[in-house]
Amino acid sequence: MSTTSAGLEFHDVTVAYGRRPVLWNVDLTVPGACLFGIIGPNGAGKSTLLKAALGLVPLAGGEVRILGAPLEQVRSRVGYVPQRESVDWDFPVTVTDVVLMGTYARLGWLRRPGPRERSLAAECLDRVGLADVADRQIGRLSGGQQQRVFLARALAQQADVYFLDEPMAGVDARSQERIFRVLSDLRAEGRLVVIVHHDLRSVAEWFDAVALIDMRLVATGPVAEVLTPENLRRTYAGRLDVLDEIGRAVAEGGRTP
C-alpha cells in the first residue's frame, strides 16, 4: 500500500461531527497529476472530505494517504486554499503579506521572509494576474481577486498536491478562467489538484476525473464515465434518508425507529 503511485487515497474513511457521522465509508483513490473534482449537493460533505484529508477534522475511522504516505510525513508538499468566507478580509495585511504566508512553514521558526521569498511571492502574484495590486489591503479586492490571492499563497508553498475548497464560489467569469488556467498548468507540471466544486457545467471542460459525493461516495472515475444521468440522479435526487436517520440515532446514542 505504501508503494502505490496514487496521489491521494481514502481507505474506508468515516468522519463524524461529535458522534454523528456526516461522511460514510469513503473509499477512493485519486491518481497523481490530474485535476480532480469533488462534486455533490449542498451538505453532501465535500468540504468535510477535503478537511479530513488535510487533518483539519478528525477521522472517526479509516485512513488517508497522500503521495503514498501519512499526512504528517508529506505536509510540506501539500497546499490548501480554504473557502474565501473562512477569513476576515478586513484583516490589516496587504496582498503580498498574504502570499508570503505561503512561505512561512518552509522557513520554520525564527526566520523571516527575505528577498528570495519576496521574489517568489511576486512571481506567484504574476501567475494569477494580480501583480498590479500587490500592495493593496486585501479588503479592497473583488471576490475573484481575493480568491486568486489565496491561490497565489498556495502556489508560494510550492506544493505537489493542492486542495481547493470551492475556489469558484462568488468569482467572476474572468477570474474563474484565470484560476482554471493556473490549475491546468499545475497539472501539466505533474501536480495533483483536488477541487471541491459545485458547478456541473464547467466540470466536463476542465476536470480529468471526479468523485460524486452525497454523504457517501456515489461514483468516481474519468468525467465521461462518471457524469451519467443515472449517477447524477443518485447524487442529487437520491438523498438517502436512511443515512440521516441512522446518523441521528448514533449521535443520540439511541436506536432508529
Partner 1 sequence: MMEFDSTHLWMHFWAIATAATVSAGCALVGSFLVVRRLSLLGDAISHAVLPGIVLAVLAGGRPGGAGVFLGAVVAALVTVWLTNLLGTHAGLAEDAGAGVAFTTLFAIGVVLVSALASRVDIDPGCVLYGILELVPFDTVPIFGLEVPRALLAAATVLVVLVVAAALCWKELVFTAFDPAAARAAGLPVGLVSAGLLVATSLATVASFEAVGAILVVAMLAVPAAAAELLVRRFHRMLVVAVALGVAGSIVGYLAAWRFNTNAAGMIAVVLGIEYLLAALLAPGDGIVARVVSRESLRWRVACEDRLASLWRAEEGDAAALAPRTLLDRLAQARLVFGGRIVPGAAGGLTDIGREEARVIVRSHRLWEAWLGRHVALPLDHLHPPAEWIEHHLGAEVRGRIAADLEGDEGDPHGRDIPPEGFPSRPADAPTQ
CB of 51 to partner 1, least distance (A): 8
Distance from C-alpha of 24 to C-alpha of 14, rounded to nearest angstrom: 5
Long-range CB contacts (within 8 A, 24+) of 3-7: 3/68, 4/29, 4/65, 4/68, 5/31, 5/32, 5/68, 6/30, 6/31, 6/32, 6/65, 6/68, 7/31, 7/32, 7/33, 7/34, 7/66, 7/67, 7/161, 7/192
- Shorter beta-carbon distance to partner 1: residue 43 or 91: 91
137 binds partner 1 (CB under 8 A): yes
Q: Which stretch binds partner 1 (CB under 8 A): 2-10, 82-90, 170-178, 196-204?
A: 82-90
Identified binder of partner 1 from the candidate list 41, 55, 62, 170, rule CB under 8 A: 55
Burial 168-206 (b: 16+ CB within 10 A, else e): beebeeebbebbbebbeebbeeebbbbbbbbeeeebeeb
Considering only 27-35, 37-45, 98-106, 191-199, which stretch makes contact with partner 1 by CB under 8 A? 98-106
Q: Binding partner 1 by CB under 8 A: which of 34, 101, 232, 251?
A: 101
DSSP for 118-147 reads HHHHHHHHHHTT-GGGTTSBGGGS-HHHHH
Nearer to partner 1, 56 or 204 (CB): 56
In the range 107-136, which residues lie near partner 1 by CB under 8 A? 107, 109-110, 112-113
Site for partner 1 contains 80 (CB under 8 A): yes
Minimum distance of partner 1 from residue 81's CB (angstroms): 8
Element housing 252 (H / E):
helix 241-252
d(CA 131, CA 133): 6
Min dist. Cβ of residue 104 to partner 1 (A): 5
Nearer to partner 1 by Cβ, of 98 and 226: the residue is 98
Asked whether position 86 contacts partner 1 by CB under 8 A, the answer is: yes
Give the interface with partner 1 as residue ranges (CB under 8 A).
51, 54-56, 75-76, 78, 80-82, 86-88, 91-94, 97-98, 101-102, 104-105, 107, 109-110, 112-113, 137, 153, 157, 163
